Amino acid sequence: MRIQVINPNTSEAMTHKIGLAAQAVARPGTQIIACSPADGPVSIEGHFDEAIATLGVLEEVRKGREQQVDAHIIACFGDPGLLAAREYASAPVIGIAEAAFHMASLISTRFAVVTTLTRTRIIAEHLLQRYGFSELCTSVRCIDLPVLALEESGPELIECMAEQARRARDEEGAGAIVLGCGGMADLGRQLSEAIGLPVIDGVAAAVKLAESLVDLGLTTSKHGDLADPIGKPFKGRFAYMSR
């Protein structure tokens, strides 16, 4: 089984980290193909970055489709381009935010999200609403560090995240913590030890859900609103997308 893990931003160090996190939980027969677009923002910290990055996500999906991968993972916590990718791909597509929410809801009655910037909280909240998890999530908490600052993680970073997680645990009754950024994929174990709660990394969660769907022979429903995009002309730079 080959699973394409797409880092929607263009930071190779993060792509590498995400690839390692994915491979670490993949089962023996699963090959992880970590990739990221050549074009786009080095980090995704708002709707604008996300909108531009979505184009890169779709082009990586196209490559993955040509390589006949068995599943695609979108490894940015805003799940950018998820429904567009489900239309465009024939293999299943999983976003790391949805993956983490699903797993968290299987092991707790209430969970919290710890993410990077306050300004991206609304993105997570909109996803929780659309996916149906608003009532299960006690809060989306922010440490207000830029995404790329996660690269230089030290004990202060973990402590900073732990502080938010403890407040969610003690003040709101959260029973599990979701890591709210693909760049946090290597921090789960340390955070879990610091706070005594299970911590869910969306990259790892998405790998297991992707394997699961493949094992079950399930892929995106092609009846209705996620069917292949309707063939039509695209103009200019996107003429190659004409079908």
- Nearer to a copy of itself by Cβ, of 33 and 112: the residue is 112
- Could you count the other beta carbons within 10 Å of the beta carbon of residue 77? 30
As measured in angstroms, the least distance from the Cβ of 153 to a copy of itself is 19
What is the per-residue DSSP string for 134-177? GGGEEEEEE----GGGGGG--HHHHHHHHHHHHHHHHHH---EE
As measured in angstroms, the least distance from the Cβ of 228 to a copy of itself is 9
As measured in angstroms, the least distance from the Cβ of 19 to a copy of itself is 17
**β-strand pairing of 93-95 with 31-35:** unpaired
- Nearer to a copy of itself by Cβ, of 155 and 229: the residue is 229
Whole-angstrom Cα distance, residue 79 to residue 69?
Answer: 19
As measured in angstroms, the least distance from the Cβ of 98 to a copy of itself is 7
99 and 71 Cβ atoms separated by less than 8 Å: no
Residue 19, H or E segment: helix 12-25
